[in-house]
Structure 1
Amino acid sequence: MAELITVARPYAEAVYSLATETRTLDQWSDALAWLAAMVNNPDMVEVVTNPKHTAKEVEALMLEVLGERANESVKNFLAALIENHRLMLLPHIASQFELFKAEAENIVDAQVETAFPLTEEQKAELTSTLSKQYGKTVRLDVRDNADLIGGVRVLVGDDVIDSSVRGKLQAMAASLKN
């Protein structure tokens, strides 16, 4: 997977640079999300990887699905990906693009796992605390995970804040083994 991200990053950087210059970040974000969703669809993968379909047929199909989202730059980008056999990188390109966009907008994403559902007040408090800690606007992605037993585990980039009961039990078990 690291190799795919490595190959996808220059494409994402090029698209991000173009989108920044032309002030079309949101349009590119939308188009890339659609393109990534298309190549994640098993039916589309079957069409894209089937040698019976020409590159022009694949391109025409994808542009038809994109509709108005496909401006001239998007069309050229899609053609380049197809020509270089990099179409299946689209989900990674879209993901990298969103990371560049969030960084420029001073936004950080936090994945939060909780043993029990959080109230809106708890989410607001957690968002505020994390925003102060990271000095950025925080977007929460909250998911329930009963395996945590209690508490929360927060992932922000490479940082892990584990205040779950399961995490504390694992830390205790590790210290007892030493």
Structure 2
Amino acid sequence: MAELSTLARPYARAAFEYASTENALNEWLSELQLVSVVVADEAVRNLLGDPSLTTEKQADAFIGLLGDELGDSRKRFLHVLAENRRLGLVPNILTQFAQLKAQREQSVDVEMVSPFEVPDAVRDRISQALSKRLDREVVMSTSIDSSLLGGVLIRAGDLVIDGSVRGRLNKLAEALTN
């Protein structure tokens, strides 16, 4: 995995710098997300792995799948990736592009998982506390996992705060066995 990240890094940086100069970070991000979904399709992966197709034909076929969904600069970017046989790196490029964008905007994506719907007031308080702790703007998304007994599980990048009852019981069991 580290090798794919290393290969994707220069492309992600180049795309990010270009998108920054054009003030089009959101457009690039949304279109890279679309391309990433298309690349994940098995038929498309087979197309990309077909040695009988030239890189130009691969790029044209790939861009043809997306139709008018892509801007001209993104189409040129995909041609560059195809010429270097790197279209399969788009998911890795997307991840690094999103990280660069979040760094630039001083924001962090936070996922909060709970066993039930969390009231907006509670979600806002948690978001404000995390924003203070992380010194970044928090973009909160929530999901429901009924397998949690109670509490919440919060993921913000590498930071995981397990305030769930299941997590606390696991810590207690671990403490008792040691």
Query: Would you say the 8 A contact 1:31–1:66 is kept in 2?
Result: no
Query: Would you say the 8 A contact 1:107–1:136 is kept in 2?
Result: yes
What displacement does 1:16 show? 0.8
**Which residues of 2 match residues 1-150 of structure 1 at below 5 A?**
1-64=1-64, 65-67=66-68, 69-71=70-72, 73-150=73-150
Per the alignment, do residues 20 and 10 of structure 1 end up closer, same or farther by CA in structure 2, a change over 3 Å counting? same
TM-score (norm 2): 0.88
1 CA distance for matches of 2:153 and 2:26? 31
Gaps of 5+ in 2: none
Query: Would you say the 8 A contact 2:115–2:147 is kept in 1?
Result: yes
After TM superposition, the structure 1 stretch with the greater mean CA deviation from structure 2, 12-21 or 39-48, is 39-48
Gaps of 5+ in 1: none
Aligned to 2:169: 169
Residue type of the partner of 1:54? T
Q: How many residues align?
A: 177
Per the alignment, do residues 68 and 176 of structure 1 end up closer, same or farther by CA in structure 2, a change over 3 Å counting? closer
1 CA distance for matches of 2:27 and 2:97? 12
The residue matched to 1:148 in structure 2 has which SS? coil
What displacement does 1:68 show? 5.7
Runs of 4+ displaced beyond 4 Å = none
Residue type of the partner of 1:16? F
The residue matched to 1:109 in structure 2 has which SS? strand
Aligned to 2:151: 151
Question: 1:98-130: per-residue Cα shift (whole Å, max 9, x none)?
Answer: 111111112111121212222223222222221
Query: Would you say the 8 A contact 1:63–1:70 is kept in 2?
Result: no
Query: Would you say the 8 A contact 1:111–1:154 is kept in 2?
Result: yes
The residue matched to 2:147 in structure 1 has which SS? helix
2 CA distance for matches of 1:135 and 1:115? 28
Aligned-pair Cα RMSD in Å: 1.8
TM-score (norm 1): 0.88
